[in-house]
Amino acid sequence: MTLPLTPSRQQAPAKDAMLSLEDEVALIRAWRETRDEKAKSRLITAHLPLVLKAAGRFRGYGLIADDLIAEGNMGLIRALDGFEPERGLRFATYAQWWVRACMYDYVLRFSTPVSFSITAERKRIFFKLKALKAKLLGARGGHLSPDDAASIARDLKVSTKTVAEMERLMCQPARSLDAPLAAGQSTSLGDILPDERPDAETLLGDRQELTLRRDALARSWPSLTEREQTILAERTLRERPLRLEDLAQRFNISRERVRQIEGEALRKLRRLMLPGEPIPV
């Protein structure tokens, strides 16, 4: 399915294309129960305005609009798999959280010239620091003075050191790995970076271990009951695992019983796959 990316390429759905509550529930159930691609496409298209509105919040980060909106579309798709209309919410109320979360993650990954590890504190500071810095410095821009950093730190309830560190990460210029370390030198940054790729011996060992695990799983799998095999396969081997509710309806048991069977089957498999453990016949 091709998803629209920008308002210029695909206009927002007309008013009569918006879904009633009954249509929305029917389409979501069609997607959940039969993976009806037409139902999925109509749900995504009807909620495109939500993605476009969310994308407008990130105009000042220097990102390509097509890519940002594509991330928002992925948020809609992820929301479809987790939404439960039985809870009484409209899909847009649930989906907007996923759309914003995907866009936030994209901005954090690609709006700065260097990558850095993301903690909850850094994530919170990242999106507030830009606004507070613009408020303090105005159009002149530049770097925060110690007093400015201290003021922002008080507003955000973090240390001045943390604010200074985040500003440095956000403002650090990109640098080519082929650029010389210093003027007149031939050695570049790329020359001194360690090669972190695994060596041939490690790769061979990993492949052998994977083969052994697959063989052990193949020998142990028949020892599970048919119901255990089905539940484990649907919950752990699918690209999009089935929900507990789906399997509970299939076997006419409770969600908690499905969870128990899944846990028991996993523990049984781990025990049978241990070296030297006899396989029942």
- pLDDT-based confidence at 203, cuts 50/70/90? confident
CATH for the 200-273 domain, from 2.60.120.380, 1.10.10.10, 1.20.1280.50, 2.70.98.10: 1.10.10.10
Over residues 95-131, the pLDDT tens digits come to: 999 998 888 888 877 766 555 566 667 777 777 787 7
Mean pLDDT, all residues of the chain: 78
Q: Domain residues of the chain, as ranges?
A: 15-110, 112-173, 200-273
Q: How confident is the model at residue 242 (pLDDT cuts 50, 70, 90)?
A: confident
Instruction: Residue 166: count other Cβ atoms within 10 Å of its Cβ.
Output: 23
Architecture of domain 15-110: Up-down Bundle (1.20)
The confidence score (pLDDT) of residue 261 equals 93
Angle at 54 between CA 49 and CA 57, to 5 degrees: 135
Q: What is the pLDDT of residue 260?
A: 93
Whether the Cβ atoms of residue 100 and residue 75 lie closer than 8 Å to each other = yes
Quote the CA–CA distance of 29 and 86 in Å, as a whole number: 10
Q: Please give the structure tokens belonging to residue 104.
A: 């936030």
Per-residue confidence band for 207, with pLDDT thresholds at 50, 70 and 90: confident
Q: What is the pLDDT of residue 119?
A: 67
Return the pLDDT at 175.
52
pLDDT bin (cut points 50, 70, 90) of residue 17 is: low
State the pLDDT at residue 13.
43
In this predicted model, what pLDDT tens digit does every residue of 24-82 receive, in sequence order? 999 998 988 888 999 999 999 999 999 999 998 887 777 888 888 999 999 999 898 88
Q: What is the pLDDT of residue 151?
A: 84
What is the DSSP secondary-structure string of 218-242? HHHGGGS-HHHHHHHIIIIISSSPP
C-alpha 40/C-alpha 197 separation (Å) is 40
Minimum mean pLDDT range among 77-86, 194-203, 237-246: 194-203
Domains 15-110 and 200-273 share a fold: no
Structure confidence at residue 92 (pLDDT): 93
pLDDT band at residue 191 under the 50/70/90 scheme: low
pLDDT score recorded for residue 8: 39
Q: Does residue 55 sit in helix, strand or coil?
A: helix
Cα separation of 197 and 203, whole Å?
Answer: 10
What pLDDT was estimated at residue 279? 47
Q: How many CA atoms lie within 13 A of 134 on its CB side?
A: 6
pLDDT tens-digit map of 121-167? 777 777 778 778 777 776 566 778 888 888 888 888 888 888 887 77
